[in-house]
């Protein structure tokens, strides 16, 4: 009886480890949020009805002999329940050690250069210990210098997209998006985002 109990415990532990290491294949992006538009001629409250991909971007530029400033971002179109369509971008920036990265496209302008981490463990930290995360929403912006109650990277998992290994991330976010040159919301529309949730691949 004792041997049977030990065997069952080994099986359960093995199953638990296997579930925690599930690799996602060709995942789709999911975005849900509540948005209130104010300070405009067409104020409203709405939610996301559907999401479509627009484009992605990658950048790197040398900051010292042993480090580079890196950036990755992805843009989506959000069709809202009230019929409006809003562009939204999620991006991350960090100063990182060169030795952790594959740096590509040296001959191209910095804003067209691709890069990748050598190890998934370091890449997962990029989405957690970033120097800045940014959400652009309807031409307005939310800045997050670190994780806090308004921006939290909940999970990072391995995923395969078109046969390539990527990071599948899950984020919770909220906040008030002001115009780049209107940080107090005096002259342009303001978007208040609550219950924001993203699941997908940024790179």
End-to-end CA, the chain: 51
For the chain, the domains span 24-201
**Closest C-alpha among 73, 111, 120, 115 to residue 98:** 115
Q: Give the other-Cβ count within 10 Å of 137's Cβ.
A: 21
User: What tens-digit pLDDT sequence spans the chain (203 residues)?
Assistant: 544 444 433 334 444 333 344 677 767 899 999 999 999 999 999 999 999 999 999 999 999 889 999 999 999 999 999 999 999 999 999 999 999 999 999 999 999 999 999 999 999 999 999 999 999 999 999 999 999 999 999 999 999 888 888 999 999 999 999 999 999 899 999 999 999 999 999 98
CA distance 42 to 31: 23
SS (H, E, C) 57-94: EEEEEECCCCEEEEEEEEEEEEEECCCCEEEEEEEEEE
CA distance 104 to 113: 6
| 173 neighbors 196 (Cβ within 8 angstroms) | yes
* Whole-structure pTM value: 0.86
């Amino acid at each position: 009886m004792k041997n049977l109990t030990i065997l069952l415990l080994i099986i359960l532990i093995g199953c638990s480890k296997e579930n925690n290491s599930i690799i996602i294949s060709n995942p789709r992006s999911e975005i849900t949020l509540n948005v209130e538009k104010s300070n405009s001629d067409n104020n409203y409250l709405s939610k996301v009805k559907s999401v479509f991909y627009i484009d992605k971007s990658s950048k790197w530029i040398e900051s010292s002999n042993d480090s580079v400033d890196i950036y990755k971002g992805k843009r989506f179109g959000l069709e809202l329940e009230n019929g409006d369509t809003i562009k939204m971008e999620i991006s991350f920036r960090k100063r990182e050690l060169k030795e952790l990265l594959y740096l590509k496209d040296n001959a191209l302008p910095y804003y067209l250069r691709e890069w990748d981490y050598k190890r998934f463990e370091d890449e997962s930290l990029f989405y957690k210990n970033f120097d800045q995360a940014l959400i652009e929403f309807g031409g307005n912006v939310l800045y997050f210098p670190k994780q806090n109650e308004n921006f939290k990277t909940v999970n990072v998992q391995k995923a395969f997209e078109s046969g390539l290994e990527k990071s599948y991330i899950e984020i919770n976010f909220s906040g008030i998006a002001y115009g780049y040159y209107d940080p107090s919301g005096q002259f342009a529309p303001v978007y208040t985002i609550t219950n924001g949730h993203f699941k997908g691949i940024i790179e």
